[in-house]
Chain A
Amino acid sequence: MNLWDFSILIDYWDDFMAGLGRTVLASLLGLIGSLVLGTLIAILRIAPFRILNVVGTVYVEFIRNIPLLVTVFFFFLGVPALGIAMEPFTAGTLGLIVYTAAFVAESIRAGIQAVPSGQSEAARSSGLSYIQTMRYIILPQAVKIVLPAIGNQMINLVKNSSVLAVIAGLDLMYYADIINLKTFKGIPVYTLVALFYLLLTIPLSQAVHYMERRFAKSN
């Protein structure tokens, strides 16, 4: 038997495409969801109210110190046990969003706090409100600092979406496992899977690089 027989990929092309579609969908939903949720958590962490800071800190420390798989299983098994029906794909994507948001929040917080405190003090003493200081002075500078870190998180998110395979989330990795077990041709199957993930992650990292250059010019 030829382990390098790539022709079997054609036989299962429809399955690969179905899986790739789900992986792209989970990644897009995850990307948007985790950026929105992560930004909200970051705001909680740096807001000038102690109670909000505590809520944000508890979220970040709780979620980022639990394995992604455990978080996903919470949505997959725990939430339905509470009487809320949830598709495996939905459970997996929610798990991804909640998990990635913790890291996004940390990156954003670190970026904002990396802007020298003199900037904020100068803005406030020249009469800008807290919100105005954030909007016009701090955030434009923080975005540049935060971009590379966020880019990393988004690339991780795309790769982490393979966790769906474990809960029958019908993603690329799920189909790859099944095709491999049917055909025993792991080398071509997982080579193709690697290429598909690269197809998603490389444009993503190029986009982040492009945005970094754009923001650098805006100085």
Chain B
Amino acid sequence: MNRKLSRTFRWSAAVLSLIIMLIAAGCGSSGEVDTLEAIKKRGKLVAGVKYDTKLFGLQDPATGQVEGFDIDMAKALAKKILGDETKLELKEVTSKTRIDMLRNGDIDIIIATMTITEERKEQVDFSDVYFEAGQSLLVKKGSPITGLESLNKDTKVLTVKGSTSAQNIREKAPDAEILEFENYQDAFTALRAGQGDALTTDNSILLGMQKQDPNYELVGGNFTDEPYGMAIKKGNPEFVKTVNELLKEMKESGEYDRLYEQWMGIKPE
């Protein structure tokens, strides 16, 4: 190799390593970016919501639109941060995927009927409670099951994998056989196919199913308190504060009560 050529090589090698270093530095810093700053810079809030849950986040198959209480909360948040409720992108999450999607940065916030628990607090930060839910039972009308006390070793109770409902029902009805499904629609489909005697989860979700098929009804009232919170990636105190401010403002202005009644059919307690 002649001298000139080897000099060219050395130069290109130097330039190349500089570029690689710059790219690496860029990646390094973007991983640590504050979520709230990222939303403002992007000009869009990305919210992880349910697509299969009546009253909270349900996709209308005809229009493709996702609607519900959680969606309206996400719109209000987009309006607060960016001044425009349409600057919002919705992404479908399930109980199974949502924490990983938040941690990977696929979504800025989880607004998806997510119960605040100590275990989850180790993974994510939660806003103040935005919905007071409680676990109940859904059965076919005329079922001999009237509440928790009716559940025994001969009853099959259906619920969803990874949900707090599954853990609770094991404690409250230790004799009952518990079957866990991928999502609420699958569990409800299984109930309607006669694969179980009762479906248990939050009352709010069961109310949606009751609307969907009036042959099913809630029995026995609530037996747990399961406050819903919005989940945010750890290390974003400003973002958590903004969400809590929004909740306070909405409650004071009456907007929260209006939305609640619109979706749940009853006033908040």
Contacts and interface: CB of A to CB of B under 8 A. Distances in A.
Contacts of A177: 96, 161-162
A27 B173 CA distance: 31
Contact of B193 (A77, A168, A178): A77
Contacts of A170: 179
A1 B123 CA distance: 9
Given A168-B181, A174-B180, A76 B162 contact: no
B215 interface: no
A86 to B, nearest CB: 8
Interface residues of B, number: 21
B193 A80 contact: yes
Nearest to A174: B180
Given A168-B180, A177-B162, A182 B167 contact: yes
Interface string A155-192: 00000000000111010001001101110100000000
A76 B193 contact: yes
B190 interface: yes
A85 interface: yes
Contacts of A166: 181-182, 186
B166 interface: yes
A181 B195 contact: no
Interface string B166-204: 110000000000011110001001100111000000000
Contacts of A85: 194
B269 interface: no
A88 B95 contact: no
Interface size class of A (residues with CB under 8 A): 10 to 19
Contact of A88 (B96, B166, B195): B195
Interface string B94-136: 0110010000000000000000000100110000000000000
Contacts of A167: 181, 190
A131 interface: no
A80 B195 contact: yes
A181 B190 contact: no
Interface centre among B96, B166, B190 (most CB of A within 10 A): B190
Contacts of B167: 182
B194 A80 contact: yes
A80 B195 CA distance: 8
Contact of B96 (A1, A76, A81, A181): A181
Contacts of A178: 161-162, 166, 180
Given A177-B162, A178-B162, A184-B99, A168 B194 contact: no
B123 A184 contact: yes
A84 to B, nearest CB: 10
A1 B161 CA distance: 22
A178 B182 CA distance: 10
Contacts of B179: 88, 168, 170
Contact of A77 (B122, B162, B189): B189
Interface in B192-242: 193-195
Nearest to A177: B161
A76 B189 CA distance: 10
A129 to B, nearest CB: 49
A168 B190 contact: yes
Contacts of B194: 80-81, 85
Contacts of A182: 119, 162, 167
Given A178-B166, A181-B95, A182-B162, 11 more contacts: A1-B122, A77-B190, A80-B193, A166-B181, A167-B181, A168-B180, A168-B195, A170-B179, A178-B161, A178-B162, A178-B180
5 contacts: A76-B193, A80-B194, A178-B161, A181-B95, A182-B167
Interface of A: 1, 76-77, 80-81, 85, 88, 166-168, 170, 174, 177-178, 180-182, 184
Give 5 closest A-B pairs by Cβ, nearest first: A181-B162, A168-B179, A77-B193, A80-B193, A80-B194
